[in-house]
Amino acid sequence: MSISADEAQKFKDEVAVVCCRTEAGTIISADNLEDPNIFPDLVDSGLLSIPENAAKIGQVIGAKLLKTIDSLTPITPEIIEGMKVEGTVDTNIEKLIDSDKKAVLKFNMKAGDVIKAADLENPINFDKLEDSLLIKLGDGVLTRGEVIGAKLNQNVPALHLLFQIY
């Protein structure tokens, strides 16, 4: 059974195993990955063997599968392209969460800062912010998916609507 984008964030440090047969050229998403909670039972029953070099969920989201693999196959570095290595900013999982919602900065940010999901106001609060006239969301405001991972080139105040990446 595949996991959701929220679960992918929760399990980002767990081993990545495909839930179903996955074709070469597939861009790995949470929908392709098996729930790590069932791995102990699968290993005990002999249905799953996890190699030492198995990649983590956070490393494979957004990576491209280079060959077709069967269900319950752990993802390893040699069968994917674009795997994130430790120490890099993992924005692909964050982009999947509310990626179509508008981007409103929650905090003041400085030039050179990279925008993370945690830097953006929760879309649940948009109605309250608009009612209090603190923001006015329009069609030109960029989405969370467009700004997460982008680098600012000037200082930007909190509750600023992102029409462009400064």
152 within domain boundaries: no
pLDDT per residue as tens digits for the range 56-84: 999 998 889 999 999 999 999 999 988 77
d(CA 147, CA 149): 6
164 within domain boundaries: no
Strands (E), the chain: 64-65, 80-81
12 within domain boundaries: yes
| CB 23, CB 68: distance < 8 Å | yes
Q: Is the pLDDT of residue 134 over 60?
A: yes
d(CA 140, CA 161): 9
Average of per-residue pLDDT across 12-41: 93
pLDDT at 98: 61
Confidence category of residue 3, pLDDT binned at 50, 70, 90: very high
Average of per-residue pLDDT across 142-157: 80
User: What pTM was computed for the model?
Assistant: 0.53
Domain count, the chain: 2
Average of per-residue pLDDT across 119-143: 79
Structural domain that includes position 109 = 98-147
* Claim to verify: residue 10 and residue 74 sit in the same structural domain: yes
pLDDT at 166: 43
Q: Is the pLDDT of residue 161 over 50?
A: yes
**How far apart, in Å, are the Cα atoms of 41 and each of 14, 35, 54?**
15, 12, 18
pLDDT at 113: 84
| CB 11, CB 93: distance < 8 Å | no
Look at residue 38 and give its three-state secondary structure: helix
- The residue out of 81, 106, 130 marking a domain boundary is 81
| Residues of the chain above pLDDT 90, percent | 39
